[in-house]
Structures are given as C-alpha cells and as structure tokens.
Amino acid sequence: MYHTLSVLVENKPGVLTRITSLFARRGFNIDSLAVGETEDSTISRITISVRADNASIEQITKQLHKLINVVKINELTEDDSISRELVLFKVNAVPDRRHEIIEIASVFRANIIDVGRSTLTIEATGTSDKLGAMEDLFRAYGIKEIVRTGKIAISRGLRD
C-alpha cells in the first residue's frame, strides 16, 4: 500500500542523506521523494512516497523521528490531502501525428513546451493516476524520455 510521508526537517547540509540512508539501511524503498524549503527558511519539507504495510510505516516513522534533525512527520492520506506531481514527456512525433499528441495533451490540460523536428515535449501536472494515464497514451507514439519531480502533497484546509 502507498503511503505519503510529509517530513519537516532542519534545513541543514547532510539532512537529506540522513533520511535516505535510514530508508536504505532499514530495508525500506522510497518510491518518490521531493524536497524544498518551506515558508520558514530554516525548515525544509521532504515528501516521501513509500510502498509498505502499516507496521513498516509505523517503524519507518518511529525511526525517522529518532533523527535529531527531523522536526515533524505527518502521514498524508488521500482523503485529507491533495497531491501533485510534475512530469515532462518527450514523445516521438513525426509531423503528421503531432496533432493527435497535442489533442491528448489538451484533454489532460498539459502544455506543449518544446517542439522538435521529430519530438514534442509535454509538461503535465496532476495526481499519479492522471499522469499514469497520459503515459499509457503517449506510449503508443514512443516515449523518448520521462522526467518526474516526485510527488508533493499538502493537507487540505480545515473545514470551518
């Protein structure tokens, strides 16, 4: 089962290594990881997607808490959070099939950000499901390259 951990850490050199090496040495796999500064420049947020059972997630969370630089950990569930990922697809596109690809992109509200002689590069954001669906469709044309940012997520605003 997929879990999304939102980990607040002190914004100091080497902290990311501490997090990732902990996953490696405790035998847990990271599916995706995104990191950046928060509204407080001394704190960074690391969003980690992990595929693990509940007992493993509990153990990962407890082990992460033991790292001195880890300030806070939230597990974000699908119901109470919104997640996004940004993907760049470079798709084979001979001139007479370009319009098909552009059409698919527009259905998904993705942008064409580069046009080459035989390729189109598309920028898309969304949930993992949506991006997966796009990938499936582009595969028919041949994908030359995919670059993903990794998933980021934010908790929903409280309903007052």
Partner 1 sequence: MKSDKNGQRMTGAQAIIASLEAEGVDILFGYPGGQAIKIYDALYDSKQLKHILTRHEQGATHAADGYARATGRPGVVLVTSGPGATNTVTGIATAYMDSVPMVVITGQVPTSVIGTDAFQESDITGITLPITKHNYLVKKAEDLPRIIREAFFIATTGRPGPVLIDVPSDITKAEIVFEYPETVSIPSYKPTYKGHSKQIKQAVELIKDSYKPILYVGGGIIASGAGKELEELAEFMQIPVTATLIGKGCFPEDHHLSLGMPGMHGAKYTNYALSNADLLIAVGARFSDRVTGKLSEFAKGARVIHIDIDPAEIGKNKAVDIPIVGDAKIILGAINEELHKTAVAPRTTDWLTQIDEWRARYPLHHHAPSSAIVPRYVFERLNELLEGRKKIITTEVGQHQMWAAQYCKTNEPRTFISSGGLGTMGFGLPAAVGAQAGCPDTLVVCIAGDGSIQMNSQEMATAAINDFPVKVVLLNNGCLGMVRQWQQLFYEERYSSTLLGACPDFVKLAEAYGWHAERVAEPEDVDRALRAMIEHPGPALLDVIITDREMVFPMVAPGAAIDDMIGATNVGPISNMIDSEEE
- In angstroms, give the least distance from the CB of 62 to partner 1: 4
**93, two tokens:** 């596109």
Smallest gap, in angstroms, from Cβ of residue 29 to partner 1?
A: 17
How many angstroms separate the CA atoms of 150 and 116, rounded? Answer: 26
- Alpha carbons 120 and 143: distance in angstroms, whole number: 10
Our CB check for partner 1 shows the closer of 33 and 87 to be: 33
Output 67 or 112, the one with its CB closest to partner 1: 67
Whether 52 and 60 have beta carbons less than 8 Å apart is answered as yes
What span, in angstroms and rounded, lies between the C-alpha atoms of 140 and 102? 14
Collapsing DSSP to helix, strand or coil, 47 comes out as strand
Which amino acid is present at 44? S
* Least Å from the CB of residue 100 to partner 1: 50
Binding site for partner 1 (CB under 8 A): 10, 13-14, 17-18, 21-22, 25, 55, 58-59, 62-63, 65-72
Q: Which residue lies nearer to partner 1 by CB, 70 or 91?
A: 70
CB of 5 to partner 1, least distance (A): 15
Residue number with CB closer to partner 1 (1 or 55): 55
